[in-house]
């Protein structure tokens, strides 16, 4: 087995079943060279446990640093609560703060995450909305293009300066849909011209601000392609790679969401995503056996198909380049807890 197939696990960010990693999970990360772990609310019980867990995960990784990722947006999407500063929704911050204040706020947010060993925040949200009752809601800054671009640029610049990886989402824009992709596959009749003149513009701006990655959305744009944007060469290759000239990471939204599971098998979705040019596949499933079978089956396909093998090889190069930006070091629970309890950010959001 050559290194490309052996390291296929690098293309996956996986979930955990609880707040502490099982021996089975640690062995899986070690043996399959898994790229990263996604922390959800169920994975957080205390700062002390979180720090110890991240240290164990990093120690298990043979190709490190492991991506330790989380959705830390604020509002209804914030996995880590007290003593982390509990943030209001992104739109509330955008509506009440200047660009300089937003930069300072997210510099402090990054410091809180880094204190426990999180190196990848799947943020900011760049979805333009057409209605306030859509699936994204107040996770989006809103409808004013100039404001959205200013806010996400300030956020990304803070993250880049702080040394935490950023991910702008959900490309090419989830704000035009009412269906929640966690439940089923949303669709839109937007044309490519309409998207390029509105929804897509903040994502292009994000690449100029230095964003490290772009997350693609599980949305079917019926007038553009017959597969979701997250699995589409038209969106990934033609727009992100060629139009944006983006050479960093592209990741799918979670393939465990209903938008994918109701229409594709995990292997179909993963293979299509890799062939389309995605580098990272989020699978928040904590079923180790299912994940192992998925990677094993994909490895067999890659061995037999030079085209997908070349895509995976290129993605591994991009992953290595981004991982070089992460100065991994062991964290200590007491230090992290003391830092969080004294965080200046709490004075802004009491």
Provide the pLDDT for residue 136: 86
pLDDT tens digits, residue range 56-111? 999 999 887 999 999 999 999 999 999 999 999 999 999 999 999 999 999 999 99
Provide the pLDDT for residue 181: 85
Using a 10 angstrom Cβ sphere, with 0-12 exposed, 13-18 middle and 19 or more buried, the burial of residue 49 is middle
Average pLDDT along the chain:
94
- Whether the pLDDT of residue 182 is over 90: the answer is no
Provide the pLDDT for residue 261: 93
Give the strand order in the sheet containing 281-283: 165-166, 120-121, 67-70, 36-39, 12-14, 281-283
Provide the pLDDT for residue 132: 60
Range of weakest confidence among 134-138, 156-160, 302-306, 345-349: 134-138
Provide the pLDDT for residue 90: 96
pLDDT tens digits, residue range 318-343? 999 999 999 878 999 999 999 999 99
pLDDT tens digits, residue range 19-55? 999 999 999 999 999 999 999 999 999 999 999 999 9
Using a 10 angstrom Cβ sphere, with 0-12 exposed, 13-18 middle and 19 or more buried, the burial of residue 300 is exposed
Provide the pLDDT for residue 327: 81
Range of weakest confidence among 89-98, 181-190, 264-273, 278-287: 181-190
- Whether the pLDDT of residue 133 is over 70: the answer is no
- Whether the pLDDT of residue 134 is over 80: the answer is no
Provide the pLDDT for residue 197: 94
- Whether the pLDDT of residue 148 is over 90: the answer is yes
pLDDT tens digits, residue range 225-266? 999 999 999 999 999 999 999 999 999 999 999 999 999 999
Provide the pLDDT for residue 325: 94
**Who wins on pLDDT, 174 or 280?**
280
Q: pTM of the predicted model, to two decimals?
A: 0.96
Q: What percent of the chain has pLDDT over 90?
A: 85
């Amino acid at each position: 087995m050559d290194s490309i197939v052996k390291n296929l696990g690098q293309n996956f960010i996986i979930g955990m079943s609880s707040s502490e990693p099982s021996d089975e999970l640690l062995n899986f990360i070690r043996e399959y060279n898994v790229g990263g772990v996604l922390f959800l609310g169920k994975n957080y019980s205390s700062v002390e446990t979180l720090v110890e867990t991240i240290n164990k995960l990093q120690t298990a990784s043979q190709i490190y640093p492991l991506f330790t990722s989380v959705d830390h947006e604020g509002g209804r999407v914030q996995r880590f609560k007290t003593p982390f500063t509990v943030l209001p929704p992104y739109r509330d911050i955008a509506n009440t703060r200047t660009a300089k204040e937003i930069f300072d706020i997210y510099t402090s947010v990054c410091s809180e995450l880094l204190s426990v060993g999180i190196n990848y925040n799947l943020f900011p949200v760049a979805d333009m909305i057409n209605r306030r009752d859509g699936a994204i809601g107040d996770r989006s800054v809103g409808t004013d293009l100039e404001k959205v671009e200013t806010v996400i640029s300030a956020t990304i610049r803070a993250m880049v300066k702080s040394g935490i990886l950023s991910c702008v989402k959900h490309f090419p824009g989830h704000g035009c849909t009412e269906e929640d992709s966690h439940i089923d596959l949303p669709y839109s009749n937007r044309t490519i011209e309409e998207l390029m003149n509105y929804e897509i513009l903040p994502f292009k701006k994000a690449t100029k601000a230095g964003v490290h990655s772009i997350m693609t959305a599980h949305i079917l744009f019926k007038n553009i392609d017959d597969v979701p944007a997250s699995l589409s060469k038209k969106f990934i290759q033609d727009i992100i790679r060629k139009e944006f000239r983006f050479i960093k990471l592209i990741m799918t939204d979670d393939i465990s969401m209903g938008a994918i599971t109701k229409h594709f098998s995990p292997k179909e979705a993963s293979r299509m995503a890799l062939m389309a040019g995605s580098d990272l596949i989020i699978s928040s499933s904590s079923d180790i056996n299912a994940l192992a079978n998925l990677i094993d089956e994909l490895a067999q396909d890659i061995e037999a198909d030079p085209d997908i093998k070349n895509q995976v090889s290129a993605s591994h190069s991009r992953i290595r380049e981004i991982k070089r930006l992460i100065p991994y070091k062991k964290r200590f629970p007491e230090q992290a807890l003391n830092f969080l309890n004294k965080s200046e950010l709490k004075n802004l959001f009491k």
